[in-house]
């Protein structure tokens, strides 16, 4: 084969194409200009110009969450790099595979406080899985290959490649060789669990009286939905998903008790509290799940499957630790359960008890049938209406706050990768750019961004990007004229002293704003008009619609775990709670 000579910039883009990347999100600037010139001269990799580097990372992140493939973004040095930081941290906290390429000032200027110089390796270090500072242009293809391998394998995460400008010089060519093999010293990956551990786990599972399956984002990352469904059916016991795990077990299944944790359902939290066996799959016993870890699952033995050994025994000590790929480990367990013809009938009384809890204090999923005084709209009704209008089949991205919790509680996700939100970092501004990434990946699918008037303003400039690329995203804005979740906490814990949560008089007219970007804006203030507006919004297939829904400003998210309590200690409404 003839030698292919490329510059560093060309090599970088060519290597991305050789990694089967067809889309990247970015924003140009001085240190990245050689790379942008290389992009211009090829057509294998499409570049999407966002309006802020944070949006580039969130869009790549949304793309990755929806597809399971790594998301890629490209930013320049200095402010380009620092603007990307929030998005990198978001991906890091939720274990999302991302490759972030940042331009850097030329080598000879590094360390001189040069124009637009920032130590990207240094500032990104605590929030990346790994990072590379390119030292020689010839090593770019190998670094790209390594970056993708590291970002996507084991517990996924973001990888930064920092590229000094002089190493992408179009006049300095070298032979391009994309590596077929990779050598990473002592890079440990865990696949199947040891047989002895599988046997121990199966023993605990079959000897239990009150087991619960608790699956999180790791189960989605390892594409384990099918195996977990089979496992759920073999066990016939309650199944709960974390905020990050929603969809990995179908919400419409009778064994599904809903999301657990801080704003989890009453029945899911009660099941966790009363269980005698907790089977954690790709979940990390986060503080929003366990509440007080010293009071967590005291009656339960625990089995933990995770691809990251450092997640195991970090917060909660477990009885059986299975480091491995959730998909493979659950298959191993299913095989054992099938081989022994396990009869799960003995869990029926326990399952019945869970259903009784649901009957007692479960969420009301028929709120569209109710009328409200003054025809006011409750936020839960907006989610139920969106669910109805989309037949539960949309990709739903969200921002952070009350609307996020309502969406998680009331939009029933029956498939993995349909619910896309910033769970770990809790990044406001995530929803809209993430929805762009999803829409680029699935142009024919319905993509809704459920947001609030606080969050949407954090990346609202992306309405321009949506206009440029014709992205018909549906933005459902739960407008309560205040930072709702903060307000809820101020109501519950700060005597109703509303510190810095309101901006009612200075909110933009979202309808005009959407229109000024060339989109459609719609406003709904009455419950009686909600469903028709929602239908119309989703019926406009080729338009981005900004549906501004005025909702009850005083509504709280319930259930809510009592701070420092156990998982059975919940506020159920403004007047009811399960504890003294």
Chain residues in the site for another protein (CB under 8 A): 121-122, 125-126, 129-131, 133, 150, 184-188, 308-310, 312-314, 318, 321
Backbone dihedral angles phi then psi of residue 257, each to the nearest 5 degrees: -100, 10
Q: What CA–CA distance (Å, rounded) separates 346 from 181?
A: 51
Backbone dihedral angles phi then psi of residue 572, each to the nearest 5 degrees: -105, -20
Closest separation in Å from C-beta 318 to another protein: 8
Q: What CA–CA distance (Å, rounded) separates 250 from 317?
A: 29
Instruction: Provide the b/e sequence for 292-328 (b: ≥16 CB within 10 Å).
Output: eeeebbeebbbbbbbbbeebbeeebebebbbbbbbbb
| DSSP string covering 356-414 | HHHHHH---S-GGG---GGGPPPHHHHHHHHHHHHTT-SEEEE-SSHHHHHHHHHS---
- Is 490 annotated as catalytic? no
Closest separation in Å from C-beta 290 to another protein: 16
Q: Which is nearer to another protein, 131 or 422 (CB)?
A: 131
Structure tokens at 510: 């979202």
Q: Which is nearer to another protein, 129 or 417 (CB)?
A: 129
Q: Which is nearer to another protein, 17 or 121 (CB)?
A: 121
- Count of Cβ atoms closer than 10 Å to residue 566 Cβ: 21
| DSSP string covering 430-465 | -HHHHHHHHHHH-TTS-EEEEEETTGGGGSTTHHHH
- Is 165 annotated as catalytic? yes
Closest separation in Å from C-beta 297 to another protein: 17
How do strand 447-452 and strand 419-420 relate by DSSP bridges?
A: unpaired
The DSSP call for residue 500 is S
Q: Which is nearer to another protein, 169 or 308 (CB)?
A: 308
Q: What CA–CA distance (Å, rounded) separates 380 from 402?
A: 10
User: Given 41, 46, 115, 207, which residue is catalytic?
Assistant: 115
Closest separation in Å from C-beta 283 to another protein: 17
Q: Which is nearer to another protein, 304 or 418 (CB)?
A: 304
Q: What residues have CB less than 8 Å from 442, skipping those under 6 apart?
A: 66, 395
Q: What CA–CA distance (Å, rounded) separates 68 from 415?
A: 13
Closest separation in Å from C-beta 212 to another protein: 21
User: Given 69, 116, 415, 531, which residue is catalytic?
Assistant: 116
Contact in structure between 60 and 83 (CB atoms under 8 Å): no
Q: Which is nearer to another protein, 125 or 203 (CB)?
A: 125
The DSSP call for residue 46 is E
Q: What CA–CA distance (Å, rounded) separates 152 from 71?
A: 10
- Is 115 annotated as catalytic? yes
Strands of 105-232 (E only): list them. Answer: 130-133, 158-164, 174-175, 211-215
User: Given 259, 485, 522, 567, which residue is catalytic?
Assistant: 485
- Is 116 annotated as catalytic? yes
Instruction: Provide the b/e sequence for 75-102 (b: ≥16 CB within 10 Å).
Output: bbbbebbbbbbbbbbbbbbbbbbbbbbb
The DSSP call for residue 3 is P
Closest separation in Å from C-beta 506 to another protein: 38
How do strand 560-561 and strand 570-571 relate by DSSP bridges?
A: antiparallel
Closest separation in Å from C-beta 498 to another protein: 34
User: Given 10, 14, 25, 53, which residue is catalytic?
Assistant: 53
Cα angle 141-82-70, degrees, rounded to a multiple of 5: 40
Backbone dihedral angles phi then psi of residue 49, each to the nearest 5 degrees: -85, 115
As beta bridge partners, residue 163 has: 103
Closest separation in Å from C-beta 310 to another protein: 4
Contact in structure between 295 and 566 (CB atoms under 8 Å): yes
Q: Which is nearer to another protein, 135 or 364 (CB)?
A: 135
Closest separation in Å from C-beta 187 to another protein: 7
- Is 53 annotated as catalytic? yes
Q: Which is nearer to another protein, 33 or 123 (CB)?
A: 123
Q: What CA–CA distance (Å, rounded) separates 213 from 193?
A: 18
Q: Which is nearer to another protein, 86 or 488 (CB)?
A: 86
Q: What CA–CA distance (Å, rounded) separates 299 from 288?
A: 20
Q: Which is nearer to another protein, 111 or 349 (CB)?
A: 111
Q: What CA–CA distance (Å, rounded) separates 535 from 173?
A: 56
Closest separation in Å from C-beta 329 to another protein: 15
Q: Which is nearer to another protein, 92 or 176 (CB)?
A: 92
Nearest residue to 54 (alpha-carbon basis) of 18, 23, 34, 82? 82
User: Given 129, 165, 302, 327, which residue is catalytic?
Assistant: 165
Structure tokens at 580: 């003294």
Closest separation in Å from C-beta 73 to another protein: 20
- Count of Cβ atoms closer than 10 Å to residue 211 Cβ: 26
Tell me the catalytic residues. Answer: 53, 115-116, 165, 485
């Amino acid at each position: 084969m003839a030698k292919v000579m490329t510059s560093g910039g060309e090599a970088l883009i060519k290597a991305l194409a050789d990694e089967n990347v067809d889309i990247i999100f970015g924003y140009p600037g001085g240190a990245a200009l050689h790379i942008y010139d290389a992009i211009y001269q090829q057509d294998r990799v499409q570049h999407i110009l966002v309006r802020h580097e944070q949006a580039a990372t969130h869009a790549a992140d949304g793309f990755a969450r929806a597809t399971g493939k790594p998301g890629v973004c490209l930013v320049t040095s200095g402010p380009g790099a620092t603007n990307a930081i929030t998005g990198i941290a978001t991906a890091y906290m939720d274990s999302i595979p991302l490759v972030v390429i940042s331009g850097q000032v030329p080598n000879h200027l590094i360390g001189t406080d040069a124009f637009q110089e920032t130590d990207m390796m240094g500032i990104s270090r605590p929030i990346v899985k790994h990072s590379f500072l390119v030292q020689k242009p010839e090593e770019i293809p190998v670094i790209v290959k390594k970056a993708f391998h590291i970002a996507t394998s084991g517990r996924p995460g973001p990888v930064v490649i920092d590229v000094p400008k002089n190493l992408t010089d179009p006049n300095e060519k070298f032979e391009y060789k994309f590596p077929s093999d990779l050598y990473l010293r002592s890079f440990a990956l865990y696949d199947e669990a040891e047989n002895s551990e599988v046997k121990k786990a199966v023993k605990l599972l079959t000897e239990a009286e009150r087991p619960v399956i608790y699956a999180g984002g790791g189960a989605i990352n390892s594409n384990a939905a099918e195996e977990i469904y089979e496992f759920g059916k073999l066990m016939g016991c309650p199944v709960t998903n974390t905020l990050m795990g929603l969809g990995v077990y179908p919400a419409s299944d009778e064994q599904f008790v809903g999301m657990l944790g801080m704003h989890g359902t009453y029945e899911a939290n009660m099941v966790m509290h009363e269980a005698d066996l907790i089977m954690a799959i790709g979940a990390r016993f986060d503080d929003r799940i366990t509440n007080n870890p010293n009071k967590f699952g005291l009656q339960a033995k625990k089995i933990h499957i995770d691809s990251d050994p450092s997640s195991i025994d970090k917060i909660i000590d477990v009885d059986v630790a299975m480091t491995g790929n959730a998909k493979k480990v659950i298959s191993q367990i299913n095989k054992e359960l099938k081989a022994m013809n396990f009869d799960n009938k003995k869990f029926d009384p326990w399952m019945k008890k869970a259903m009784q809890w649901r009957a007692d204090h479960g969420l009301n999923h028929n709120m569209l049938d109710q009328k409200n005084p003054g025809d006011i709209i409750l936020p839960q009704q907006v989610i139920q209406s969106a669910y109805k209008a989309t037949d539960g089949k949309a990709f739903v991205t969200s921002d952070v706050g009350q609307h996020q919790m309502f969406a998680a509680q009331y939009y029933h996700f029956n498939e993995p990768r349909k619910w896309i939100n910033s769970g770990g970092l809790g990044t406001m501004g995530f929803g809209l750019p993430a929805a762009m990434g999803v829409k680029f990946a699935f142009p024919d699918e319905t993509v809704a961004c459920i947001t609030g008037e606080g969050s949407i303003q954090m990346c609202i400039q992306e309405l321009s990007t949506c206009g440029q690329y014709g992205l018909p995203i549906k933005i459902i804005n739960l407008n309560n004229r205040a930072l709702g979740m903060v307000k809820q906490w101020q109501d519950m814990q700060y005597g109703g002293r509303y510190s810095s949560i309101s901006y009612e008089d200075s909110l933009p007219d979202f309808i005009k704003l959407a229109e000024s970007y060339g989109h459609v804006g719609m406003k709904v203030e009455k419950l009686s008009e909600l469903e028709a507006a929602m239908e119309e919004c989703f019926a406009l297939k080729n338009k981005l619609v900004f549906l501004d829904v005025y909702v009850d400003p005083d509504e709280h998210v319930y259930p809510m775990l009592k701070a420092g309590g156990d998982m059975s200690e919940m506020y159920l409404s403004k007047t009811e709670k399960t504890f003294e």
